[in-house]
Amino acid sequence: MNTSALRIGFAGTPDFAACHLEVLINAGYNILGVYTQPDRPAGRGKQAKPSPVKTLALASNLLVFQPQSLKSEEAQKQLQELNLDVLVVVAYGLILPQAILDLPHFGCINVHASLLPRWRGAAPIERALLAGDEKTGITIMQMDAGLDTGDMLLSKTTPIKVDDNSASLTARLTSIGKDALLDVLTQIQSGSLSPQTQDNKLNTYASKLSKEEALISWNKNAKEIQRQINAFYPRSPAYCFYNGQRLRIIQASTQNEALSIKTGTIVQVNQGGIKVACNNSCLLIKKIQLPGKAEINIKDFLNGRRDYFSPGKIFSSTPALD
């Protein structure tokens, strides 16, 4: 099939989007323009930094557009002049008004990281982990004016493993999404699409994660806390307080043992991890990060600071010393 015959535009911003742009480039698609959000201040110097999509697009000699909004007549005329067959949208971060949705010959399609209609919205990967879902996936959707409400063109599923975090699950969904996107573009060219209407009764909303949600409450069950740790890593790791300091917990596993002691109490410390009492269960902390320090597994930490953690001491949800 002649991939260069399809006139494509691409709209996306983060790494997840850049990976999908890359697969289109490598497949030889005719990409006439790339849309991404304006450069944002980043790092200690707060210097304007291009998005991963912009960096890749410029390196591939593609035309880049960075409008503040797509609601202006100027932005809409700009897109119209590209005379697109399809606009591929992946984690763009800007609203596409109806005037934009109507411009490409085959409309706008979106790569969404959930099995729609579950987890419509901004944080589907993290919300699936937090909820303890057993599976998730990628949905390629025909975009309409609603929030992830358009007809489903293709879905691919993957199980969520007990030790999956946001990083590992994103990597797997990226791989699935790239294959799914290529499949749908092939179907567009061959005229073989079979759109499926979403069941709105099954809708759930994936709101952005807040920093407040990253604070661990030791009154929860260990499985809930582990899901919290997995969902927030690596963007904003889950945390608690120990010795008055904020302590990020990077990796942990659960144990079903129920103990009649205050939740948050350290039960045991050895090179296998720090065992902490939770609600009718225990959490085994395997990797941590102290303020200003790199992530470190417990075995290596104890080799240098053997007495820092000790049984009977408390992990807290407040900075006050216990």
- The pLDDT profile of the chain, 322 residues, written as one tens digit per residue, is 688 889 999 999 999 999 999 999 999 999 999 999 999 987 777 788 999 999 999 999 999 999 999 999 999 999 999 999 999 999 999 999 999 999 999 999 999 999 999 999 999 999 999 999 999 999 999 999 999 999 999 999 999 999 999 999 999 999 999 999 999 999 999 999 999 999 999 999 999 999 999 999 999 999 999 999 999 999 999 999 999 999 999 999 999 999 999 999 999 999 999 999 999 999 999 999 999 999 999 999 999 999 999 999 999 998 865 4
259 is in an annotated binding site: no
pLDDT of residue 3: 84
Asked if the structure places residue 181 within a domain, the reply is yes
79 is in an annotated binding site: no
6 is in an annotated binding site: no
pLDDT of residue 116: 98
116 is in an annotated binding site: yes
Instruction: Kindly state whether residues 25 and 151 are assigned to the same domain.
Output: yes
Instruction: Kindly state whether residues 164 and 181 are assigned to the same domain.
Output: yes
Instruction: Kindly state whether residues 184 and 46 are assigned to the same domain.
Output: yes
Instruction: Kindly state whether residues 15 and 136 are assigned to the same domain.
Output: yes
Instruction: Kindly state whether residues 217 and 170 are assigned to the same domain.
Output: no
pLDDT of residue 131: 97
Asked if the structure places residue 20 within a domain, the reply is yes
Instruction: Kindly state whether residues 19 and 157 are assigned to the same domain.
Output: yes
Asked if the structure places residue 319 within a domain, the reply is no
pLDDT of residue 322: 47
Instruction: Kindly state whether residues 257 and 179 are assigned to the same domain.
Output: no
pLDDT of residue 217: 97
Instruction: Kindly state whether residues 31 and 163 are assigned to the same domain.
Output: yes
pLDDT of residue 321: 54
pLDDT of residue 61: 98
3-class SS string, the chain? CCHHHCEEEEEECCHHHHHHHHHHHHCCCEEEEEECCCCEEECCCCEEECCHHHHHHHHCCCCEECCCCCCCHHHHHHHHCCCCCEEEEECCCCCCCHHHHCCCCCCEEEEECCCCCCCEECCHHHHHHHHCCCEEEEEEEECCCCCCCCCEEEEEEEECCCCCCHHHHHHHHHHHHHHHHHHHHHHHHHCCCCCECCCHHHCCEECCCCHHHHECCCCCCHHHHHHHHHHHCCCCCCEEEECCEEEEEEEEEEECCCCCCCCCEEEEEECCEEEEEECCEEEEEEEEECCCCCCEEHHHHHHHCCCCCCCCCECECCCCCC
Report the CATH number at residue 241.
3.10.25.10
Asked if the structure places residue 283 within a domain, the reply is yes
Q: Quote the domain boundaries for residue 257.
A: 211-304
Report the CATH number at residue 191.
3.40.50.170
Taking only the tens place, the pLDDT of each residue in 17-67 is 999 999 999 999 999 999 999 999 877 777 889 999 999 999 999 999 999
Instruction: Kindly state whether residues 20 and 130 are assigned to the same domain.
Output: yes
Instruction: Kindly state whether residues 147 and 216 are assigned to the same domain.
Output: no
Instruction: Kindly state whether residues 9 and 60 are assigned to the same domain.
Output: yes
Number of domains comprising the chain: 2
